[in-house]
Amino acid sequence: MAIYITPAKELPMQLVNRVRAVPGRGLEGDRYFQKQGTFSEKERPDREVTLIAIESIHALKHEYGIELEPAQSRRNIVTSGVPLNDMVGHAFRVGKATLLGLKLCEPCSHLEKLSKIGVKQGLIHRGGLRARIITEGIISTGDEIEEVG
């Protein structure tokens, strides 16, 4: 698992080793925590944390020939071996934080503008998961993701 944040909209995502997840705010240091994200005017819990599976990034290359670095996905957490689409409506723990999967994080034109042409089409239904933070905690690189109850 890898963690990415950026302090303001449209800046490159930065790999970090650990981050504090704060309910109602997001990941400390990230653009949405700072209310500096592109869609910050729409304060909603589905902006707190985004996740994407590395398998989706690999499929994008294999099926569409589009090489995307994990940071270019603009998602906060890159997972491996986690069926993110199945996590909608489920609580899960990442490190010491508990999250709730809210809905799929479908790719948009803005993502494609900031990354590569074809990403929007290539990541449909596998662009990741939007999640709300239920309990505060530190998330660190390599933490396991496990469903709660």
The neighbour count for residue 120, using CB atoms within 10 Å, is 18
Q: Is 55 helix (H, G, I), strand (E, B) or coil?
A: helix
* pLDDT reported for residue 83: 96
Element (H, E) at 26: strand 26-27
- pTM across the whole model: 0.90
Domain of 99 in residue numbering reads as 2-147
pLDDT in tens, 23-58: 999 999 999 888 765 554 556 656 799 999 999 999
Paired sense of beta strands 49-53 and 145-147, if any = unpaired
Which domain CATH number covers 13? Answer: 2.40.33.20
Report the domain count for the chain.
1
